[in-house]
Structure formats: C-alpha cells, structure tokens
Structure 1
Amino acid sequence: MITIYLACLAMGLVGIVGTLVVGEVDGDVGAGDGTGTGLPLLSVTTAATALFGLGAGGSVAALAGAHAVVAALASAACAIALVALTRGVLLPLLLRQQANSHISRQHYVGQLGTVTLAIAPGQWGEIVFTDPEGNRVRGQAISPEPDTLPVGAAVYIGEVDDKHLHVVAIPPEESSDSALRQ
C-alpha cells in the first residue's frame, strides 16, 4: 500500500513542478488584471495538488503503522486540506499580486507603436512599442481600419483585451509630430 501512496506523492510533485515551469494547459488562469476567476476547479494544478496530498497523507499514515482504512482516510483528508489551502488562500494571494504588477496590459493604452506584421481587416498582425517603463514590447494587434495597415505604419493603442491590442492608424503627418515630442 505504501508503494501506491509514494507513487501518488511522486506524480503529484511532478505535476506541481510541471505547472510551475510550463503553466496551466487549459489557459484559464485569469486575465492578469484582477478580473479573472483564477484556476478552474478541475485544473492540472488542482489535480496535482490532490495527488500530492493523497500521497503525502497516505505515506505518513502507512509509515506510522496505521490500518489501511485509517491511512486512506488520512490521505483523503490531507488531499482535501491541501486543495482547500491552495485554492482558498494561496491562489487568491497570487492573483492579487499579479494584478498589482508594475505594468499590466491596461498601461499599454495610449502608447504609440509601429506595425511589424501587416494588419489586414478582420485579421491580426503584430506591433512593437515601448511600454511606460521603457521596455520594448511586441504584441498581437487588430484594427477596425478598412484598409490593411502595412509594415512600418504608426499606430495608437486605444484598447486592450486578453488577446489583442486594438490599434488605429496615425496619419503620417501626426506620427512625425508626435515622434518629435517624445
């Protein structure tokens, strides 16, 4: 029985380390601006945490010489406690910290950029710009413009969502004036 608990412990540990290194597979970790709901209940992180709890609780109980039923109850209690702790305490703290980062996507609104991959009507392209802290940023952008925005076109970031920067073209005479002001 101890072998099963140790296997659960190892698989849970691998799963937790994997989600820390690679991230969630399903991608529902919130928008990063504090509006996301966080991880869904049946996420890889939750499953790995539960497996780790099953293995840890069961291993400790089995090594202490507990009966198989007591070890099973201890493993279930440990799994439930770890998942509750992770989802109820740690995850909300991490999501709040993410929302309090120095630069969020909302800070990109109002920035000027340059098209690096043409933006066709109804399609996305790519722009490059400098964020308020001076870092060079590349991002997927879409535009309501009726014509394709060519590579090198100056754009204004008017809105952001979780996937795209919404940009509008800046007429050439205005973009050269604004470049002189920066």
Structure 2
Amino acid sequence: MTVVFGVVFAIGLLALLAALFAGEIGEVGEIGDDGGLPFLSLTTLATALFGFGAGGLGADLTGLPTPAAIGIGAGTAAVLVGIFRGLLLPYMLRQQSNSHFGRASYLGMTGRVELPIAPDGWGEITIVDPDGARVRLKARSEETATLKAGEQVYICDIDAEYVRVVSIPALD
C-alpha cells in the first residue's frame, strides 16, 4: 500500500505544481463556475490527492494498519481541501482584486511617504488603490530636499521600477 500512497502523493504534488504554474489556482473557469459542483476544480482535486497521498503514506510508514492509513489519508485530504477552499482561496482572490490596476493607473494619485526619499536616492510611499487596498511603491523625487516620512506626495511620473513624486505643500 506504500507504493499506492506514494504514487497518489506524487500525482497530487505534480498536479498542484502544474496548477500553480499554469495559473488555474483561483481563476475563473473552474468546473463550479457554470452551475456545476462549486467545490470541484483541478486545484481542489490536486489538493485532495496530495493530502490523501501524504497522510496515507505517513500513516503507512509508521506501521499503522491499512484501513487506518486510508482513514488518515482521507482525513488529511479533507483538512487540506478545507484549508485551501475555506481560507487560502478567498484570501488569494481578494488579493487579485487589484491586479487589473496597472502601474499607469497610479499616475495622479496622492500618497504618503513611508521611507524618506533623498534627492539622490529612493524611498517608499503608500497609496490606496481604487479598491481601497494599501499599495507600497518604490519612489524617487527630483526635489532638492529629502522628503520625510509622513509627508503627502503626488505621483507625477512612472517608470519600470519607481514612481516619481513631488511633495504637496501643507495648507496652513
């Protein structure tokens, strides 16, 4: 039975890696999206296979009887699927909610300096994107003085690595 658990574990692991690199994890297009079974997707099946193989293999290698190893494998699969579908997938989908905002959409936004920005160096700012998520960005400035933490800035230009900012004078 060790070989069976090992093969199931290997298939589950390979399927999880394929789902990760092929981009199926959390994407629209899962089997449940068209009115089918909502818990059924390639990633869920791969997680279940991985959990069954890992749990069963571990139990089998400790010398437990085959029915106990099968039960532990099934329990491990159920726990991993529950964790993935109940905790990780919703979190990952929320993180994707701002993925359609490109860096160009940050142009003209205001933010706050988090790490000071020296005239000849870079620092870090935070902004709130249109979905309300906090985004941290590496920033440069053409200002002659260092922009201190807490200062308000305006994003005036964007390149591949940095956003260019200018300070917003405080209204007194």
The TM-score normalised by the length of structure 2 is 0.53
Q: Which amino acid aligns with 1:62?
A: D
Q: Contact (CA 8 Å) 2:10, 2:50: kept in 1 or not?
A: yes
**What CA RMSD, in Å, does the superposition of the two structures yield over aligned residues?**
2.8
**Aligned residues of 2:26 and 2:89 also touching (Cα < 8 A):** no
Q: Indicate the residue corresponding to 2:77 in structure 1.
A: 79
Cα shift at 1:99: 1.2
Give the drift of 1:40.
Answer: 4.0
Instruction: Give the equivalent residue in structure 1 for 2:93.
Output: 95
Q: What CA distance in whole angstroms lies between the structure 2 residues aligned with 1:96 and 1:25? A: 13
Residues 46 and 83, structure 1, Cα contact 8 Å, conserved in 2: yes
SS of the aligned residue for 2:63 comes to coil
Q: Tell whether the 8 Å contact from 2:51 to 2:80 is kept in structure 1 after alignment.
A: yes
> Which amino acid in the other structure matches residue 12 of structure 1?
G
Distance 1:92 1:46, change over 3 A: same
Find the counterpart in structure 2 of residue 19 from structure 1: 19
Measured against aligned partners, the alpha-carbon deviations of 1:77-132 in whole angstroms (never above 9, x if no partner) come to: 0000000000000001101111144717xxxxxxxxxxxxxxxxxxxxxxxxx942
d(CA) in 2 for partners of 1:60, 1:27: 31
* Paired-residue identity, %: 43
Report if aligned partners of 2:24, 2:43 keep a CA contact under 8 Å in 1: yes
Unaligned runs of 5+ in 2: 31-36, 108-172
Q: Is the 8 A contact 2:26 2:93 kept in 1?
A: no
Alignment coverage as a number of residue pairs: 101
Paired position in structure 2 for 1:132: 105
Q: How does 1:162-173 map onto structure 2 within 5 Å?
A: none
Q: How does 1:96-111 map to 2 (within 5 A)?
A: 96-101=94-99, 103=101
Moved over 3 A (4+): none
TM-score of the aligned structures, taking structure 1 as reference length:
0.50
**How far off is 1:27 after superposition?**
5.3
> Where in structure 1 are there 5+ consecutive unaligned residues?
31-38, 105-129, 135-182
For the 8 Å contact 2:12–2:49, the answer to whether it is kept is yes
Letter in 1 for 2:105: P
Equivalent residues of 1:5, 1:59 under 8 A apart: yes
CA contact under 8 A between 1:56 and 1:75: conserved in structure 2? Answer: yes
Task: Report the AA paired with residue 8 of structure 1.
Answer: V
